[in-house]
Amino acid sequence: MALLVACGGGGGGGTDAGSSSTNSSSSTNSSSSTNTNSNTSSGTGGETISPAIKFALTGQVEGLFNTGLSVNDGLGNLLNVAGGSLQFAFNNGAAYLETGTAYDLKITAQPSGQVCAITHGTGVASANMMAIKINCATVGLTTASLSDSQLQWGVQTPIKITMKTETGLPVSGALTCQTTDAEALLVAPDCSWAKAMRLGTYKISVLSAAGNAANASVRHIPQRHALQASSQSENTFKALNSDGQTWFWGSGDMGQLAQFGADNALLTSDSARPLQGKLAAQTLMSGIVSVSSGTSSASSLALTDAGEVLSWGGNGMTLGRNIGNQATPGKVGNTNTGALLKNIVQVQVGDRNAAALSHDGMVWAWGLADYAGQGITGSGKVNPGLVMVGTNTPLSGVVQISAGHNFALALTASGQVYMWGDNQNLKLPNPDTTVSPKLVWATRVMDASNLQPLKNIVSVAAAYAHALALTSDGQVMAWGNNQYGQLGRGYTSFGLTALGAEMVKAPWGQIGNLNNIKAISAGQHHSLALTQTGQVLSWGGELATSPQWGAGSKAENRRYLPGLVVDLNDAAPLSNVLAISATPANSYALTHGGEVLSWGYNYSGVLGNGLFYTAFAESNVPKKVLSAVGTGSLNVGDLSQFKNPHQRYR
Q: Phi first, then psi: what are they for 605, rounded to 5°?
A: 80, 25
Place 353 in a pLDDT band, splitting at 50, 70 and 90.
very high
Mean pLDDT of 276-290: 94
- Helices and strands of the chain, counted as H and E runs: 0, 55
In a domain, 408, yes or no: yes
- At residue 49, does pLDDT exceed 60? no
What's the order of all strands across the beta sheet hosting 300-304?
Answer: 288-292, 300-304, 309-312, 330-331
In a domain, 3, yes or no: no
**DSSP at 544:** T
**Which domain does 326 fall in, by range?**
236-641
**DSSP at 565:** P
State the CATH number of the domain containing residue 353. Answer: 2.130.10.30
Mean pLDDT of 364-391: 92
DSSP for 221-280 reads EPPP-SB-SB---SSEEEEE-TTS-EEEEE--TTSTT--B-TT-PBP---EEEEEE-EEE
- At residue 2, does pLDDT exceed 70? no
pLDDT at 20: 39
Question: CA-CA distance, 113 to 69, in Å (whole number)?
Answer: 11
Instruction: Give the pairing of strands 213-221 and 150-152.
Output: parallel
Same domain, 166 and 294: no
Q: On the CB side of 381, how many CA atoms lie within 13 Å of its CA?
A: 18
One-letter amino acid of 92: N
Tell me the per-residue pLDDT of 607-624, one tens digit each, with 9 for 90 and over: 999 988 765 678 999 999
Question: CA-CA distance, 56 to 245, in Å (whole number)?
Answer: 56
Tell me the per-residue pLDDT of 77-124, one tens digit each, with 9 for 90 and over: 999 999 999 999 999 999 999 989 999 999 999 999 999 999 889 999
DSSP for 152-215 reads EBT-EEE--EEEE-TTSPBPPS-EEEE-S-TTTEEE-TTSSEEEE-SSEEEEEEEEETTS-EEE
Which residues are within 8 A (CB) of 116 and not within 5 positions of it... i.e. 6 or more apart?
Answer: 63, 64, 69, 107, 110, 134, 135, 136, 137, 178, 205, 207
Tell me the per-residue pLDDT of 487-497, one tens digit each, with 9 for 90 and over: 998 877 655 55
Weakest-pLDDT range from 174-183, 416-425, 541-550, 640-649: 541-550
Same domain, 352 and 422: yes
In a domain, 315, yes or no: yes
In a domain, 179, yes or no: no
- Taking the CA atoms of 309, 310, 313 and 317 in sequence, report the sign of the dihedral they define: positive
Same domain, 442 and 348: yes
pLDDT at 13: 36
Same domain, 321 and 195: no
Q: Look over the chain and give the mean of its residue pLDDT values, rounded to a whole number.
A: 88
Tell me the per-residue pLDDT of 545-566, one tens digit each, with 9 for 90 and over: 789 999 999 867 777 899 999 9
Quote the percentage of the chain above a pLDDT of 70: 89
Question: CA-CA distance, 446 to 261, in Å (whole number)?
Answer: 50
DSSP for 344-403 reads EEEEEE-SSEEEEEETTS-EEEEEEGGGS-SS---SSEEEEEE-EEETTEE--SEEEEEE
In a domain, 20, yes or no: no
- Decide which of 221, 246, 278 is a domain's last residue: 221
pLDDT at 14: 36
Do residues 239 and 247 make contact, with C-beta atoms less than 8 angstroms apart?
yes
One-letter amino acid of 375: G
Mean pLDDT of 345-350: 97
Same domain, 488 and 529: yes
In a domain, 433, yes or no: yes
The kind and range of the H/E element at 301 are: strand 300-304
Higher per-residue pLDDT: 643 or 326: 643
CA proximity to 395, closest of 363, 417, 423: 363
- At residue 33, does pLDDT exceed 60? no
CA proximity to 527, closest of 557, 495, 567, 485: 485
**DSSP at 608:** -
Which residues are within 8 A (CB) of 188 and not within 5 positions of it... i.e. 6 or more apart?
Answer: 177, 194
Higher per-residue pLDDT: 129 or 473: 473
Same domain, 412 and 304: yes
Do residues 574 and 614 make contact, with C-beta atoms less than 8 angstroms apart?
no
The kind and range of the H/E element at 622 are: strand 619-624
CA proximity to 62, closest of 133, 142, 140: 133
The length of the chain is 650
CB atoms within 10 A of CB 148: 17
Question: CA-CA distance, 106 to 592, in Å (whole number)?
Answer: 40
Higher per-residue pLDDT: 395 or 544: 395
- At residue 250, does pLDDT exceed 90? yes
CA proximity to 531, closest of 447, 488, 463, 470: 470
Question: CA-CA distance, 648 to 650, in Å (whole number)?
Answer: 6
Domain count, the chain: 3
One-letter amino acid of 410: A
Tell me the per-residue pLDDT of 130-182, one tens digit each, with 9 for 90 and over: 689 999 999 988 899 998 889 999 999 999 999 998 888 999 999 999 998 98
Tell me the per-residue pLDDT of 171-214, one tens digit each, with 9 for 90 and over: 999 999 999 898 999 999 999 999 999 999 999 999 999 889 99
Place 508 in a pLDDT band, splitting at 50, 70 and 90.
confident
In a domain, 637, yes or no: yes
Instruction: Give the pairing of strands 58-62 and 133-138.
Output: parallel
Question: CA-CA distance, 539 to 450, in Å (whole number)?
Answer: 26
Question: CA-CA distance, 175 to 181, in Å (whole number)?
Answer: 19
Same domain, 165 and 58: no
In a domain, 23, yes or no: no
Place 26 in a pLDDT band, splitting at 50, 70 and 90.
very low
pLDDT at 378: 87
Give the chain's largest Cα–Cα span. Answer: 93
- At residue 311, does pLDDT exceed 90? yes
Same domain, 108 and 161: no
CB atoms within 10 A of CB 140: 12
CB atoms within 10 A of CB 37: 19
C-alpha to C-alpha distances, 183 to 90, 112, 187, 312, nearest whole angstrom: 22, 21, 11, 33
- Taking the CA atoms of 639, 641, 645 and 650 in sequence, report the sign of the dihedral they define: positive
Same domain, 268 and 287: yes
Same domain, 194 and 243: no
Same domain, 163 and 72: no
Higher per-residue pLDDT: 631 or 248: 248
Question: CA-CA distance, 650 to 642, in Å (whole number)?
Answer: 16
Question: CA-CA distance, 209 to 51, in Å (whole number)?
Answer: 42
Quote the percentage of the chain above a pLDDT of 90: 70
Same domain, 131 and 166: no
pLDDT at 1: 30
Cα dihedral angle (158, 164, 170, 171), rounded to 10 degrees?
-80
Tell me the per-residue pLDDT of 332-344, one tens digit each, with 9 for 90 and over: 998 778 789 999 9
